[in-house]
Structure 1
Amino acid sequence: MSQSARFLISAGIVLASVLPALAQPKAADPSPDHVKTLIAQAMQQTGQKPPTTGMIEPPAGPTVNLTEQEAVARAQQGNLTLISERITPQTWDYSMSATRAFYLPTLTSTVGSINQTDLNTSAFSGGVKTTSETQSWSGGITKQMWRGGGSYSAQWTNSRNETSSTFSTCNPCFSSGLQGLFTQPLLRNRKIDNTRATILTNEINQDIAELNLNAQEVSILAQVRNAYWELVYARQAVEAAQQSLELASKLVGDNRARVEIGTMAPIDIIQAQAEEANRRQQLVTAQATQRNNELGLKRLIVRGTDDELWRATIIPVDHPTVTAQAVDLEGAVRAALSRRTDLAVSRRNLDAVDITLQSLDNQTKPGLDLIGQLNLAGRAGVGVARLDPTTGLSVAPPAGGYFDTIGQLGSFEAPTWNVRLQFNYPLGTTSAKANVSRQRLLRRQQEATLKATELQIATEVTGAALAVRNSFEAMQAAQVSRELSEQRLNAAQAKFEQGMATNYEVVQAQRDLNDARNSELRQQLNYQRALVDFQRVQITR
């Protein structure tokens, strides 16, 4: 096969593979900012570098100097977890409003009209065929009482009736009525019932939600402080790595000068160059840690990737505390016992157990209700004279209009009083009594849990105070070690220049100084974290 034929066949294969792709609609390319945001989020979640051969560029935004208190303030306003958690207590407001609606007054009203025709077979029906038309209207109010568990209702009724019956004493007739009813429990449901128990429990749950929110806020702000000091440590670790690299590079340069003048063998440079490469690798690792720690702090204090601080470079301006901080252990324990959110939650849970116990004990009591009722009636209309069938005398028919019936209600012309006691008691109360006994055991268990929580709080606060002291002593020891390592390196460098020390001794002294610096920085960070934790454990676990 000729070279031209092979070329044409290859071109045909390439064209056949490209044409289907060109025929498909091209999807919109994601924006560079969106890609960078996704990469940054992925790096934050996995802690690994993206698969690219290019260097990771620093944020393109401005440089922001940030203090610890400013970081905390930003987290209080912009932390997405806190913004989400603050909604939870608000949901209980609606739950409680829905339950409390049971105790709101209920208004009722009815308006109606009835047109009725009757075919009668009785001589006392007022005719063989009678018609009547009745218009009625009424209104009322009912309300359940919170205190005492009673209820009352009032009903006002009105009607107008016009009929063709010859036996009616008025045509049309007006009537009005006023009925009042009051029910008051005397034993069961007087102090508490299921509805009131639910409302009281919801109030406790709302308090617990507020306490949990407070605990979440304190915990997140402690994370912000720790993340801030982690970033401070990372930046200082980068500076220490740079200083260590400079020392290693200087040693390489000095050794090259000695090789050039013939006072050192060329092979001795290799050890210094290997140490320089190792220090360069440590610098790269420290810079990567700094970037990750900065992302970790940003995640806690920004509202999202559209926040201006997300693209900025954060420069922490506060320095670690290197002086001893006074620790009042007894005062801290007292403060924790009065402020710890988990202890407050345990106490509120105990209150909820008491409410449930009262509600269950209420079910074992007999029902005894006092019921009072008052009915008032008024009647008027256009009278029709009738004879009394027994006496044969004319009976005065009712007279007047609708407002005359209202006047009769006000004058108590036809009252009806009704007062009674209503009693009921279930013969089998074994289940209710068993529930009460079980709830009392749960209360004893909750009391034991409360005491265990107090002991745990005292232990945690004491442990945090000891951690502050231990970390401070470790920081002091690390500081002394770093100072001695500096002196040792100076001595080794001076001996090396005089020919009294080997290249290995200088390299080893540099390594020891590098380790001592990193150890001092880590102990400073541990001391700052211990102080943050000591403040945190006084409020939440």
Structure 2
Amino acid sequence: MRTSLPRYVSAVLLVTLPTWAQNVQTANVQAPALRLDIPHSSNPLDTYRATLVPQPNLANSPRIDSLVHDGVLELSLKDAITLSLENNLDLAIARYNIPIAEADILRTRAGGSFRGVNTGVVQNTPGGGVGGFGSGASGAGAGGTSGGAGGAGSGAAGLVQSTLGAGTIVQSYDPAVTGTFSNEHYTQPLSNLQTYGVPLLQQNTTIGNVGYSQSFPTGTTLSAAFQNNRVATNSFRTYLNPSLNTYYQVALQQQLLAGFGFGPNLRYLRIAKNNQKISDEAFKLQVITTITQIANMYWDLVAAYEDEGVKSRALDFARQTLDSGRKQLELQAIPAMDVMKDEAEVANREQDLTIAKTALQFQELLIKNALTKNLDDPILEAMPVRPTDSTSVSNTGVTGSTEDTIAEALRDRIELSESTIDLENRRISRSAARNALLPSVALTAYYGGTGLAGPPNPAANTPSTAPPDWTGSLRNAFNNTAPDYYVGVTLNVPIRNRVAKSDQYRSELEARQAELRMQQLKKQIRIEVRNAEYALEQSKARVESARKARELAQKTFDITAKEQELGAGSNYQTLTARRDLSAAESALVAAMTAYQKAKIELERSVGTTLDANQISIESARTGIAIGGD
């Protein structure tokens, strides 16, 4: 039997748009600038397009070329820090955590659960351990990443987070439109002619349905359905042929106990927003950690550079002494044994210089690795690095009292800020878990209507009061001639309720555990600050002692050299004094380096690293240092 496509079902063709849109050219968005919280786009098809992230830029910043002079990379501490902001891969990896946290917010705005964010610190750049009382090693997690304070669902820093986000099911807040269009031809053999009057019943059924549903953070769900079907048959005993049926329904459901209100239904979004704050704080901690590491590496480079100079001067003097001894031996002014001692001394000094040079080359390689995105250029890899800053000891010690410094640390340390936000997440989860203990009571109401139309079947020879076309069916469905309404309450009371009870109890325990961790962290920070202050005072005392020892060794060497010049001393005595002077100079270099590192550790423990180095967190976010020249 011939059928036609009703005009009213043409709208359901919109359901094919998502499939088509997958083939449309996808958008290309930079990861650090990713903004997923834009409410609407001018093009509705953008909803179905993938958002791609470009390949990472692995080219070194041009700044490094401007620091090369005569084949040598001349580097100040400020230059090193600036280059690390632009090129360090630990920072580059951590930058992706910021848009990842934004993506979680987009997901939870639609009612989806949060996936969590990484809040640990990436410490995969070898060469400089980050301080802290009882620490100094790189990250123990995957990829050199340390554990964070929150944001993940498994647990970190000894804390359990298994109930983070626990509570009732959250429905999707994104509207959903469904549609169905179908056309069926059905033939059924019949055993008698009494019912339909034909031996083979043939039916052509065309269906066009559209549905809409959306949930809201109050625990409300709204749904609507618009259903249409057209049935044509070969039976002459059917009064309407074809028969046109229309039905609509608008339904509303409201949770009254469990799942009621903004608290349990917006918990994912609130936790995701807090996780974004934690991610922002974690990135600051990443910058502080990286800057601390780079500063330690720089002063290790300075120490290796200065120690290489000490060993080189010691070798030069030993060679001069050996040349002088050989000339005196030719004149038979000294015994051959003295020359042999001079030769042994030269060999020892050559060994020391070789060790110092290789140590310097390794430090150069470490800092170049930390300040570049790649070392594929063999010229850059082999290029020597010359530090332009030298170690010095400030006469001013720690300003203010220790308690004031500790108070500053308790105010500025990122770890405390992270833990405070994480504790808020646990309290949100605790409230949602308490709500989930309640029975489920849902109030449901809907209203609808039915319409019928179709031309009378000429073969039936029976009059009909139904309108002849679909417009009449549509009119009758909405004119309240055949209403369909319902109001009801659904109650679900779980007996014993052990699953929800367990989750609620665990959430309480985890919140209390986090409170204790907060107190423990405060105590740890107090100890770190005091330890850093003690270390700074101790290193300053070591510097003064090493400087005096170096001055004494210099005077001793000057006296022995003068005695030898006047013929009252021997080459061996002078070489011994020169060896002691070199050892004193190396000890002074080591003490000065330890002092610089102690200052760096004090800044880290107090939380003033960014201010002390004039670091803009926005520059760190973008990887474009401002004012670094």
Output the aligned Cα RMSD: 3.7
2:105 and 2:273 in contact (8 A); partners too? yes
Query: 1:143 Cα shift?
Result: 2.0
The answer to which of 200-209 and 490-499 deviates more is 200-209
Aligned pairs for 1:52-67 (under 5 A) are 62-67=71-76
In 2, the alpha carbon distance for the partners of 1:95 and 1:338 equals 28
**AA in 2 matched with 1:136:** I
1:342 and 1:540 in contact (8 A); partners too? no
Instruction: Extract unaligned runs of 5+ from structure 1.
Output: 1-60, 388-393
Aligned to 2:553: 485
More helix by share: 1
- Per-residue CA deviation, residues 378-436 of structure 1 (Å, 9 max, x unaligned), is 33333579x9xxxxxx9861225222333344544433332222222122224533442
Q: Is the counterpart of residue 494 in structure 1 residue 562 in structure 2?
A: yes
- Per-residue CA deviation, residues 169-217 of structure 1 (Å, 9 max, x unaligned), is 5443433221111111111012479986566656656665555554444
Identity across matched positions, percent? 24
1:120 and 1:127 in contact (8 A); partners too? no
Q: Is the counterpart of residue 319 in structure 1 residue 390 in structure 2?
A: yes
In 1, the alpha carbon distance for the partners of 2:80 and 2:562 equals 46
Aligned in 2, Cα 1:337/1:412: closer, same or farther, shift over 3 Å?
A: farther
Query: 1:128 Cα shift?
Result: 5.7
1:149 and 1:193 in contact (8 A); partners too? no
Query: 1:449 Cα shift?
Result: 1.0
2:447 and 2:483 in contact (8 A); partners too? yes
Aligned to 2:455: 382
Query: How many residue pairs are counted as aligned between the two chains?
Result: 474
Q: Is the counterpart of residue 512 in structure 1 residue 583 in structure 2?
A: no
Q: Is the counterpart of residue 287 in structure 1 residue 357 in structure 2?
A: yes
Find the residue that maps to 2:242 and give its secondary structure. strand
In 2, the alpha carbon distance for the partners of 1:263 and 1:401 equals 133
Match of 1:460 among 507, 528, 535: 528
The answer to which of 221-230 and 267-276 deviates more is 267-276
2:225 and 2:249 in contact (8 A); partners too? yes
- Per-residue CA deviation, residues 458-490 of structure 1 (Å, 9 max, x unaligned), is 211221122223222322332232223222222
1:468 and 1:530 in contact (8 A); partners too? yes
- Per-residue CA deviation, residues 484-536 of structure 1 (Å, 9 max, x unaligned), is 32222222322333344454443332222112111111111111111222233
Aligned to 2:212: 141
Aligned to 1:231: 301
Q: Is the counterpart of residue 471 in structure 1 residue 542 in structure 2?
A: no
In 1, the alpha carbon distance for the partners of 2:212 and 2:332 equals 112
Aligned in 2, Cα 1:483/1:182: closer, same or farther, shift over 3 Å?
A: same
Aligned to 2:431: 358
Aligned in 2, Cα 1:117/1:294: closer, same or farther, shift over 3 Å?
A: closer
TM-score by length of structure 1 reads 0.76
**AA in 2 matched with 1:446:** A
**AA in 1 matched with 2:82:** A
- Per-residue CA deviation, residues 315-341 of structure 1 (Å, 9 max, x unaligned), is 221222332355345565345334434
Aligned to 2:375: 305
Aligned in 2, Cα 1:128/1:252: closer, same or farther, shift over 3 Å?
A: closer
The answer to which of 448-457 and 187-196 deviates more is 187-196
1:384 and 1:397 in contact (8 A); partners too? no
Aligned to 2:77: 68
Query: 1:309 Cα shift?
Result: 2.9
1:174 and 1:381 in contact (8 A); partners too? yes
Aligned pairs for 1:243-282 (under 5 A) are 243-255=313-325, 264-282=334-352
Query: 1:112 Cα shift?
Result: 2.2
TM-score by length of structure 2 reads 0.66
Aligned to 1:398: 466
**AA in 1 matched with 2:76:** T
2:259 and 2:265 in contact (8 A); partners too? no
Structure with bigger gyration radius: 1
Aligned in 2, Cα 1:312/1:272: closer, same or farther, shift over 3 Å?
A: closer
Q: Is the counterpart of residue 79 in structure 1 residue 94 in structure 2?
A: no
Instruction: Extract unaligned runs of 5+ from structure 2.
Output: 1-69, 113-171, 610-629
Aligned to 1:16: none
Aligned to 1:10: none
The answer to which of 74-83 and 227-236 deviates more is 74-83
